[in-house]
Amino acid sequence: MKILSRLGRLMRYTVAYAAITHCTFEYIGDFVLCKGPSMEPTLYSDNVLLTERLSKHWRTYQPGDIVIAVSPINAGQFICKRIVAVSGDQVLTQKPSPIEAEYSRSQDGAAAGKKPVMTKDYVPRNYVWLEGDNKGNSSDSRYYGPIPVGLIRSRVLCRIWPISEATGL
């Protein structure tokens, strides 16, 4: 009887702590491990970030914020990018060159008689324009366009690992 009582109490504490942990990570903030070179030199692979989810209720996202969002290309993957523009802002970008252009380059690396194409876009209402800090190695809004604010999962507060590089972002 004593064992059943202890087991019951252990189960109640386990369920309570699991619920508190779930609510904390789902509604307040969590930790994110970065992978990939798209945010270099600001963030590197294997950096651990502290993120928060509360500020979206009292402030809007602003250019310069680094956010974690659901990838618009693969819903099972998260991306870490910087907000460059918000609803109503104009974005002037050089569209990434298609793969065919890579094969038609001359010996010195320049495109065969073509200048880069600059396009002007406006960010629609309730959308943001995301870009990686490493423009040459980032799949971002230049490829898939602006993303809905609803895909943003959290905003990065600071880097906490490695400790020697811990800093607010």
Nearest to 92 by CA among 124, 135, 60, 123: 123
* Position 100, amino acid: E
Distances (CA, A) of 164 to 38, 42, 108, 122, 169: 21, 14, 41, 40, 15
38 given a catalytic annotation: yes
81 given a catalytic annotation: yes
* Position 113, amino acid: G
Point out the catalytic residue in the list 81, 138, 141, 154: 81
Point out the catalytic residue in the list 2, 5, 38, 71: 38
Buried-exposed string 54-88: b where 16+ CB fall within 10 A, e elsewhere: eeeeeeebeeebbbbbbebeeeeeebbbbbbbbbe
Q: Specify the 3-state DSSP secondary structure of 76.
A: coil
Give the catalytic positions in this structure.
38, 81
